[in-house]
Amino acid sequence: MAEPLVDGYGRVHRDLRISVTDRCNFRCTYCMPAEGMDWLPRSEVLTFEEIERVARVCVERFGIDGIRLTGGEPTVRAHLPVLVAKLAALRVGGTGPPVDLALTTNGATLRSVAGDLVAAGLRRVNVSLDTLRRDRFVELTRRDELDHVLEGIDAALEAGLSPVKVNVVVMRGVNDDEVVDLAAFGRERGVTVRFIEWMPLDADRRWSSEAVVSQAEIVAAIDAVFPLEPLARGHEPAERFAYRDGRGEVGVIPSVTRPFCASCDRIRLTAEGQLRACLFAVEEVDLRALLRGGASDDELAEAVRACVAGKWAGHMIGQVQFVRPPRSMSQIGG
Ligand code: SAM
Ligand code: SF4
């Protein structure tokens, strides 16, 4: 029987986000700078065996039942399906069901890797796509890859990944005029779109509260064209809405205007093996030092427990107490 991973506020943690690399083949303006990222030396990045060991402790001892691979761009890590196969073999509590394994990707190389990832045991995918206009895509990602991303979404559907979700970061004056078009795209392709409020984790530090397009605005824009009705919120951070005509659903992740910290069940492992109890945490627990210093599974488990026990109530974006973490989104793992 797994021990629940509970923090001081009674929140039980079941979801582990693993960043497999800090590198990326895009340079999205809301995440990375155009140039000048200092990549981690390869020796500092956890090996697949080290990642598997941390995941095993979390899944078998603490009943973590969801793992999402992220980055940076996870598909730029060589042999990613090898890691997927290792994680897909984990059983919740040691003998329970397999872990629910998902991936967040920019989709640019999904055409070539989706089949191998599914064969290795990947179940679900979120593809980031913030615009359907080629010129805007180039401005936003600093790469001319829109066609490849669209092909990647099709490839994910064809490979049997389910559900396929599309993540859209909405920014005022940048792509907020495309909210309805992106919702329509989701309805047509049979993919669930998740609009995300822009968070202050961009390396360029251009974020401002004025640039955040709120959930209320996003929902009002969609509802005016495709009427919506709210659905019950599950464990996930998205607030979900069904299209009243029965053509699927759409979600909004209102990290800034309606934070979901009170029900947060996530922990994060960075590419270099730092465990974070919150996306906005300013403190980390160095699991890599333990892994490479010969620590036992019991010692690793104790470090995970201590990290979660010290979790704060929530980030305080918009309040005077808010402290921006020194790392950007791609370095933490979104
Ligand atoms: N490279 C992959 C991708 O873009 O999907 C995975 C890593 S990315 C950091 C994970 C998610 O975080 C993406 O959906 C991305 O759009 C989102 N993201 C990045 N920077 C963000 C920010 N400042 N605010 C909100 N979401 C952000
Ligand atoms: Fe890369 Fe994803 Fe960040 Fe874009 S959001 S720069 S694709 S890590």
Domain contains 267: yes
Domain contains 65: yes
Domain contains 1: no
Walk along the chain (334 residues) and give the pLDDT tens digit of each residue: 799 999 999 999 999 999 999 999 999 999 999 998 889 999 999 999 999 999 999 999 999 999 999 999 999 999 999 999 999 999 999 999 999 999 999 999 999 999 999 999 999 999 999 999 999 999 999 999 999 999 999 999 999 999 999 999 999 999 999 999 999 999 999 999 999 999 998 888 899 999 999 999 999 999 999 999 999 877 778 999 999 999 999 999 999 998 889 999 999 999 999 999 999 888 899 999 999 999 999 999 999 999 999 998 888 776 666 777 777 888 888 7
Q: Which domain holds residue 279?
A: 15-332
Q: Give, for 230, the enclosing helix (H) or strand (E).
A: strand 228-230
What would the DSSP string read from start to end of 280-291? Answer: T-S--EEHHHHH
Q: Which atom of ligand 1 is nearest to the CA of 127?
A: 5
Query: Can you tell me the distance from the alpha carbon of 220 to that of 66, in angstroms, rounded to the nearest whole number?
Result: 32
Domain contains 258: yes
Q: What is the CATH number of the domain that holds 133?
A: 3.20.20.70
Number of helices and strands (H, E) in the chain?
A: 11, 14
Cα dihedral 157, 159, 165, 169 sign: negative
Domain contains 114: yes
Domain contains 10: no
- Residue 173: Cβ within 10 Å count: 9
Would you say the CB of residue 104 lies under 6 angstroms from ligand 1? yes
Distance 259 CA to ligand 2 centre (A): 22
Most informative mutation of 329, 331, 332 for ligand 1 (most atoms within 8 A of CB): 329
Domain contains 44: yes
Q: Alpha helices, DSSP H only, in the chain?
A: 48-56, 62, 80-88, 110-120, 134-141, 146-158, 179-189, 215-225, 287-292, 297-309, 329-332
Structural domains counted in the chain:
1
Would you say the CB of residue 169 lies under 6 angstroms from ligand 1? yes
Q: Which atom of ligand 2 is nearest to the CA of 25?
A: 1
Is the separation of the CB atoms in 269 and 51 below 8 Å?
yes
Q: Give, for 251, the enclosing helix (H) or strand (E).
A: strand 249-253
